[in-house]
Structures are given as structure tokens and as C-alpha cells.
């Protein structure tokens, strides 16, 4: 019986090590394509609109804030006197991304911008970044 127990535990340990190796390897495949970051940190990669669905697939909105960043042309610019709403992506099969911020900084529909902020996903076709910062790609990071 002790031999069976040892083999059983050896198999479990081997399985756990293989799983850890698999996770580590998958994390090394493309770390540059991670548009997520801890709150108020700049992600190492800004997703482009056609990549958003793939890069966010299966990413849950959790209790802990995580930031997401995407670059694309603005499809919506609205200021209600208190908050500014900047919308991008959403063509074809792309999810729409809404950046909730405090000012438009004279951004116009069609301007290419990079937005980054607190990620939430009310549904498969809609991402909200709140709070969010927006800037033109040629501007220095804030």
C-alpha cells in the first residue's frame, strides 16, 4: 500500500508541475501582447481594435480593478458637462469600447487615440473603461 500511495502522489506532483510549466510557457509566448495592467500602470501593449475580442476573450471583470488599453479611431465624442464619453472600435465583429473620462481635450470623431482605464465587460460586445485616460498616440504618457 505505501508504494501505491507514493505513486499516486508522484503522479499528482508530476501533473501539477506539467500544468505549471504549461502556464509559464503560455505566458512566455507573447508577453508583449498583453493590453492589461495593474491599476494606474501602463500596459506593455496597446491593443488595436481588430485584436480586442481575441485579447479580451474569457477575461472576467473581477472584484479587483485591472486596466486595459486600446488604440483606434474615435467613433463617438460626447461631453455632458461633467463627463466625457469617448467611443472607439465596434466595427465588424469588434466589441465597442467606451472610455469614461472628464474632458475631450478637443478630440474629434476620426482622431486616433489611445485609451486606458478600469476594465469592465457588461456583455460580449461592449467594454467600458472607467475611470479612463485618453491621449493621442504622439502625446507623452500621462
Residues 38, 24 share a domain: no
pLDDT band (50, 70, 90) for residue 133: very high
140 domain residue, yes or no:
no
- Residue-range definition of the domain harbouring residue 22: 2-30
Q: How far is CA 126 from CA 78, 87, 93, 95, 133, in A?
A: 17, 10, 11, 5, 18
Please tell me the predicted confidence (pLDDT) of residue 36: 78
Contacts of 66 (CB under 8 A, 6+ apart): 36, 37, 38, 39, 118, 119
Higher pLDDT residue, 2 or 106?
Answer: 106
How confident is the model over 82-100, as pLDDT tens digits?
999 999 999 988 999 999 9
CATH of the domain at 111: 2.40.50
pLDDT band (50, 70, 90) for residue 142: low
Q: How far is CA 82 from CA 29, 76, 100, in A?
A: 42, 16, 11
Q: Are 109 and 74 in contact (CB under 8 A)?
A: yes
d(CA 106, CA 108): 6
Residues 42, 19 share a domain: no
Residues 44, 114 share a domain: yes
| Three-state secondary structure call for residue 92 | coil
For the chain, what percent of residues have pLDDT higher than 90?
Answer: 55
For the chain, what percent of residues have pLDDT higher than 70?
Answer: 75
**Tally of domains within the chain:** 2
d(CA 135, CA 22): 37
pTM, full prediction: 0.72
Res 102 pLDDT > 60: yes
19 domain residue, yes or no:
yes
Q: How far is CA 84 from CA 21, 109, 124, 131, in A?
A: 44, 13, 23, 11
Of 86, 95, 82, the C-alpha closest to 122 is: 95
d(CA 6, CA 91): 56
74 domain residue, yes or no:
yes
How confident is the model over 51-71, as pLDDT tens digits?
999 999 888 777 888 999 999
Amino acid at each position: 500500500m505505501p508504494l501505491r500511495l507514493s505513486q499516486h502522489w508522484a503522479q499528482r506532483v508530476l501533473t501539477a508541475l506539467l500544468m505549471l510549466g504549461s502556464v509559464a510557457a503560455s505566458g512566455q509566448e507573447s508577453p508583449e501582447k498583453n493590453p492589461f495592467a495593474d491599476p494606474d500602470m501602463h500596459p506593455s501593449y496597446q491593443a488595436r481594435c481588430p485584436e480586442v475580442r481575441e485579447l479580451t476573450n474569457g477575461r472576467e471583470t473581477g472584484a479587483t480593478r485591472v486596466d486595459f488599453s486600446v488604440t483606434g479611431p474615435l467613433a463617438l465624442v460626447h461631453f455632458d458637462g461633467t463627463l466625457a464619453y469617448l467611443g472607439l472600435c465596434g466595427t465588424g465583429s469588434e466589441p465597442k469600447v467606451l472610455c469614461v473620462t472628464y474632458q475631450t481635450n478637443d478630440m474629434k470623431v476620426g482622431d486616433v487615440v489611445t485609451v486606458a482605464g478600469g476594465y469592465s465587460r457588461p456583455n460580449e460586445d461592449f467594454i467600458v473603461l472607467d475611470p479612463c485616460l485618453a491621449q493621442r498616440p504622439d502625446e507623452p504618457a500621462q
